[in-house]
Every structure is written in structure tokens, then in C-alpha cells.
Amino acid sequence: MIDSLSCHRNPLKTTILEVIANEKSVIEILSKYVEVDRTFVERWRKFEQIQKERFSRVETLREYEGWFVREILRSSAEAIFVSSSMSVRYLDYFYSEPFNKMVFCNRGVNGIDGTFSTALGVSTRKKGNTILITGDLAFIHDMNGMVLAKTHELPLVVVLFNNDGGGIFNYLPQSGTETFNYLFTTSHGLEFESIIRGYGHHYKALSQGENFLEVLNIALERKSVTVIEIKTDREKSVETTKKLIRGEM
């Protein structure tokens, strides 16, 4: 691993050689000694372009998480915190240019713990508003972070994709087996409106046909916590993602 930042990105200790140096300089030096397949970069770029075009079909899929993520990028927020699991993947797949937001996430160890509190930390920056994009399990994991938001009067807009459990597991081959929900998805059936209001925060269920960007920008003006809940369907989302990746949409 070549890393100019020297910030220990090797938590599992699986990298055997860590070179702390400027990446470009190391590549330049190495290319004097090793024959470089220059077509590799071209092929890589070509595939990236093809995939980008396939993902751009998301523009018409108004019930799919990727579509909401694109809209969030068009909002007036200055920073986005994306939760682990599918949220960070949706951002990675469906970001569109120009990309004028600061993005924070929890890659590396990939935990879903501490999500709300970390996003709250991001929201303490002096200027600009923050949006947290999260799934329901990650949200539940750190729900008591909402107390801190109240006592410290911190602003945060949460876009909560509620698919009643961990949707990422639907991509596994075990999906559909008898004990799958019990062991993987862990559906909970929680009713978020009363929970969020119980903490003293604003809640909004997004209904079909509502102007999402408008709802988002109103919430961003508020300077307190608003949770916008969007109910999604795990199975449909997996099907859509797979079709987009294969270029079948």
C-alpha cells in the first residue's frame, strides 16, 4: 500500500508492505523498472464510463433509494454523512456531477454503530447544514444520539430509508432461505413517527408524489433535527440495483 497521508489505513493488518510516500512519485519511479500495461487504464476508464451511463437511468426511478440520493446532492446542504451498508453504496453508485458537498462516512471498519452521533458531530461545523442518509437498523443502533441533539440544540436532517431491516443482506445467496429473516434481515416493525416525536424532534413521512427536494430544503432551514422517513421495499431495490448494474433498465 502506498499512502502519502500516513494515517494507518490497515486495521486488519493484512497489508504486508506500507510505503509512506507521494503516490505519483512512487508510480513514476516504479514504471522505470516494471513494464506497465497502459491499456489497462484505458479499459478501466471505458468500463467506468459505461457503468456511469447505466447508473444515470436512475433519473426516472422515483421510488428507488438511488434516485433520492441524487436529489439529496441537489439540495442546499453543505455536508452529507452516509451510513454504512447500502447508503454509502448508493452514494458511490449514483453521485452526479457537479459534486459540491463534503461527504463523511465510516469506511474501513464499516460499523453501523454510532451513526447518528457521528453525523451530529459533523453538524457542529460553524456553517452549512448536514444531511444524514441512513438505513433503519443503523438508525436504531444509535437512537439515543437524539437525546444529545436535543440537549445541545444541534441541527441535522436525517433521510431514513426504512426497509424494515438490513436490506444489504438480500444480496446474499442465503436470501430467501427459511431462517433468513431471523438470522440476517432482523425485521423489527418499529413505528418511527412516535419514537422521533418522543425525543422531541420533527418527523415527516414522505408520501408518494410529494416534492422531495422541497421537503428536504424546508427541513434544512429548521436548525433542529428533522427525520424524513422514506419507506422502501428490500426486494424491489435489490432487483433495481442489479438491473442498473447490468444495464437492463
Positions in the binding site for ligand TPP (CB under 6 A): 83-87, 110-113, 135-138, 163, 166-168
Residue 105 to residue 111: CA distance in whole angstroms: 10
Closer CB to ligand TPP, 29 or 172, in the complex: 172
Please report which residue ranges of the chain form alpha helices under DSSP H: 23-33, 39-55, 65-73, 86-94, 115-122, 136-141, 145-151, 180, 192-198, 212-221, 234-246
What do you get for the CA distance between the two ends of the chain, in Å? 37
Q: What is the DSSP letter of 206?
A: P
Which residue, 6 or 84, is less far from ligand TPP as judged by CB?
Answer: 84
> Minimum Å distance from CB 6 to ligand TPP?
26
Beta carbon nearer to ligand TPP, 10 or 110: 110
Q: How far is the CB of 123 from ligand TPP (least distance, A)?
A: 19
Question: Which neighbouring-strand residues pair with 202?
Answer: 226
CB of 96 to ligand TPP, least distance (A): 20
- Closest-by-Cβ residue to ligand TPP is 135
Give the Cα separation of 90 and 11 in Å (integer): 24
DSSP 8-state class, residue 211: -
Work out how close the CB of 133 gets to ligand TPP at its nearest, in angstroms, rounded to a whole number: 10
Closer Cβ to ligand TPP, 79 or 136, answer by number: 136
Residue 235 CB, shortest distance to ligand TPP, in Å, is: 12
Rounded distance, CA 82 to CA 91, Å? 8
Phi, psi for 61 (deg, rounded to 5): -95, 75
Residue closer to ligand TPP, measured from CB, 2 or 205: 205
Q: Which is nearer to ligand TPP, 75 or 85 (CB)?
A: 85
Phi, psi (5° rounding) for residue 146? -65, -25
Cβ-contact 49, 57 below 8 angstroms:
no
CB 119 to ligand TPP: min, Å? 13
